[in-house]
């Protein structure tokens, strides 16, 4: 972030003390001036842009307004009222250090030059409509080319019609593991690439008239690649080289060395790597493998990758590759490690744990006197704040029993269900090393599905019962109206 700015931090009464202390430390480190604006609302997350616009007062000298990340709605009315640029900050004020540590200029982040080919394994087994649906799904996830894949020793009389149906939908199509008799009708129907050409079919490839991926005659070597390139060159057949990636335990290191050797021998050649040979054979979450292999490809100038999603642990490979190719492109171009670029691929564990600490939770307990339970999960411990008291434990059943013992009345079934659901999320967060925020989905990177909060669900039910639009402002008792 740029220093020299004068920020107006907008918050509510509950978060004011913590925000002031944090901003003081940030201002001295980053180098900006600041003013804190406390609006008449207890919980800042309940603000809406329209509500803020009617109440905000911007002191002279302020150059930028930072709203809480939960503030919903169009920011244009706030900017009009403020007279300076307005932006949303992070949802959690403890994320402000990361927010201000962002690179000042990442204008080219998102660029990439690696093409993703997504394989539909055993394509002949799928009905035409299922094939079209799967191709559409893969493209939506980031695939550039759909790869129809055959099975050894079998023929597919319908391959030409399948390719034509995909081409009619605007899809780019490649084929893999098909006999020459099947390749010809596929190419005539619009297949743009044939993967897997060596001495077994290279003479026929001269007549196909489309680009091919050249593979070695003998797996684990580069034998035959030069001969295949030499045979296809005079026919002006565009070639990519795939030296062949080996699974872990079957020569992965040596296979990576072959890619280096191939680049040395054919410095200007286009190349392809079949990532699925590792991701499909390694029983582990595939995201980190894809990032590592995409980084290797980016550094070596390999501009095509082939991936598959057959194994359940690799079911999101296309999306992972689509994100990874952006991250590695930026990292290699700017010669920086791929940190703080995009956390969407950090799915199992959160990049950084944010903790209030026992002292802050005790302070909150002294401030919050209503009986609604607030749940915290950090430092290996579950804590529940209710009616000014802090309950601690590692067993949600035990904590629930403590709540029952201290409650002046029976807990309603809906509340019990809610607490059970939130406790389950909290225990999951402690187990995996994730941040837990009550009423929010756990962060699963690119797999995160947003949850409606209790307040949003209540507003939705009320709006539906009245057949009215959902209100775009905080509840009156919270807003201090």
The domain ranges of the chain are 6-100, 115-339, 358-443
User: Is residue 478 very low, low, confident or very high in pLDDT (cuts 50, 70, 90)?
Assistant: very low
pLDDT at 407: 77
pLDDT of amino acid 43? 82
Q: Is residue 26 scored above 70 in pLDDT?
A: yes
Those residues with Cβ within 8 angstroms of residue 308's Cβ, 6 or more apart along the chain or in another chain: 118, 119, 121, 276, 279, 280, 314, 317
pLDDT band of residue 204 (cuts 50, 70, 90) is: very high
* Dihedral angle of Cα 51, 52, 54, 59, to the nearest 10 degrees: 170
Q: What is the pLDDT of residues 116-147, one digit of tens each?
A: 999 999 999 999 999 999 999 999 999 999 99
Per-residue model confidence as pLDDT tens digits over 220-241: 999 999 999 999 999 999 999 9
The arithmetic mean of pLDDT across residues 454-468, rounded, is 76
Look at 326 and 460; give whichever has higher pLDDT: 326
Other CB atoms closer than 10 Å to residue 40's CB: what's the count? Answer: 12
pLDDT band at 468 (very low <50, low <70, confident <90, very high): low
Residues 6+ apart with CB under 8 A from 360: 18
Pairwise CA distance, residues 161 & 74, whole Å: 48
Specify the residue for token string 């807990």.
411
**CATH number for the domain formed by residue range(s) 115-339:** 3.20.20.20
- pLDDT tens digits, 189-202: 999 999 999 999 99
Please check whether residue 290 is in contact with residue 320, taking contact to mean a CB–CB distance below 8 angstroms.
yes
First-to-final CA distance of the chain: 35
For the beta carbon of residue 18, count every other beta carbon within 10 angstroms: 16
Task: Beginning with the edge strand found earlier in the chain, give each strand of the sheet holding 86-88 in spatial order.
Answer: 33-38, 6-11, 64-67, 86-88
pTM of the model as a whole = 0.83
Least confident of 205-219, 337-351, 404-418: 404-418
Packing angle of the helix pair 159-168, 128-141 (nearest 10 deg):
50
Quote the pLDDT of residue 473: 41
**Where are any strands of DSSP class E within 242-336?**
270-274, 304-307
Mean pLDDT for the chain overall: 91
Proportion of the chain above pLDDT 90, given as a percent? 71
> Which among 13-27, 95-109, 142-156, 230-244 has the top mean pLDDT?
230-244
CATH placement of domain 6-100: 3.40.50
pLDDT surpasses 60 at 1: no
pLDDT classification of 472: cutoffs 50, 70, 90:
very low
Provide the 3-class DSSP secondary structure of residue 393.
strand
pLDDT for 99 beyond 90: no
Q: How far apart are CA 153 and CA 421, in angstroms?
A: 52
Residue 475 has pLDDT above 60, yes or no: no
pLDDT band at 11 (very low <50, low <70, confident <90, very high): very high
pLDDT above 70 as % of the chain: 95
Reported confidence tier of residue 3, pLDDT bands at 50, 70, 90: low
Look at residue 2 in the predicted model and tell me its pLDDT. Answer: 53
Residue 61: both structure tokens together: 């000298």
Grouping H, G, I as helix, E, B as strand and the rest as coil, residue 227 is helix
Q: How far, in Å, CA of 67 to CA of 53, rounded? A: 11
Which pair of tokens denotes residue 414? Answer: 């809906």
DSSP states along 32-50: -EEEEEE-S-S-GGG-BHH
């Amino acid at each position: 972030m740029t220093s020299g700015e004068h920020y107006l931090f907008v918050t509510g009464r509950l978060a004011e003390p913590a925000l002031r202390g944090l901003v003081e430390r940030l201002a001295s480190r980053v180098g900006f001036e600041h003013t804190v604006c406390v609006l008449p609302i207890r919980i800042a997350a309940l603000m809406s842009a329209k509500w803020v616009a009617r109440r905000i007062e911007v002191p002279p000298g302020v150059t930028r307004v930072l709203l809480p990340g939960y503030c919903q709605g169009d920011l244009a009315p706030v900017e009009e009222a403020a007279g300076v640029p307005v932006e949303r900050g992070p949802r959690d004020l403890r994320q402000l250090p990361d927010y201000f540590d962002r690179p000042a200029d990442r204008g080219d982040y998102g660029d990439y030059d690696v093409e993703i080919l997504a394989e539909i394994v055993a394509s002949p087994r799928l009905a035409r409509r299922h094939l079209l649906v799967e191709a559409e799904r893969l493209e939506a996830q980031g695939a550039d080319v759909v790869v129809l894949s055959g099975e050894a020793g079998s023929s597919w009389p319908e391959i030409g019609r399948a390719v034509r149906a995909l081409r009619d939908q605007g899809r780019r199509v490649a084929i893999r593991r098909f006999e020459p008799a099947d390749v010809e009708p596929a190419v005539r129907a619009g297949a743009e690439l044939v993967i897997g050409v060596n001495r077994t079919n290279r003479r026929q490839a001269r007549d196909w008239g489309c680009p091919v991926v050249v593979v070695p005659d003998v797996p684990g070597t580069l034998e035959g690649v030069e001969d295949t390139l030499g045979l296809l060159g005079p026919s002006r057949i565009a070639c990519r080289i795939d030296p062949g990636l080996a699974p872990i335990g079957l020569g992965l290191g040596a296979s990576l060395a072959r890619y280096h050797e191939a680049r040395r021998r054919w410095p200007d050649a286009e190349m392809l790597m079949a990532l699925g040979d590792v991701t499909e054979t390694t029983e582990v979450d595939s995201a980190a493998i894809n990032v590592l292999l995409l980084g290797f490809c980016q550094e070596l100038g390999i501009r095509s990758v082939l991936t598959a999603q057959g194994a359940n642990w690799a079911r999101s490979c296309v999306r992972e590759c689509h994100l990874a190719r952006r991250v590695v492109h930026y990292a290699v171009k700017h010669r920086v490690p791929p940190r703080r670029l995009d956390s969407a691929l950090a799915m199992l564990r959160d990049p950084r744990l944010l903790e209030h600490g026992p002292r802050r939770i005790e302070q909150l307990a002294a401030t919050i006197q209503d009986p609604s339970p607030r749940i915290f999960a950090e430092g290996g411990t579950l804590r529940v704040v209710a009616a000014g008291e802090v309950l601690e434990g590692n067993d949600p059943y035990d904590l629930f029993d403590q709540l029952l013992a201290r409650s002046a009345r029976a807990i309603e079934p809906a509340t019990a269900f809610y607490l059970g659901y939130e406790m389950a999320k909290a225990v999951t967060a402690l187990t995996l090393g994730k941040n837990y925020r009550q009423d929010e989905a756990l962060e699963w990177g690119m797999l995160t599905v947003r949850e409606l909060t209790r307040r949003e669900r209540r507003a939705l039910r009320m709006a539906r019962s009245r057949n009215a639009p959902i209100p775009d402002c905080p509840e009156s008792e919270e807003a201090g109206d």
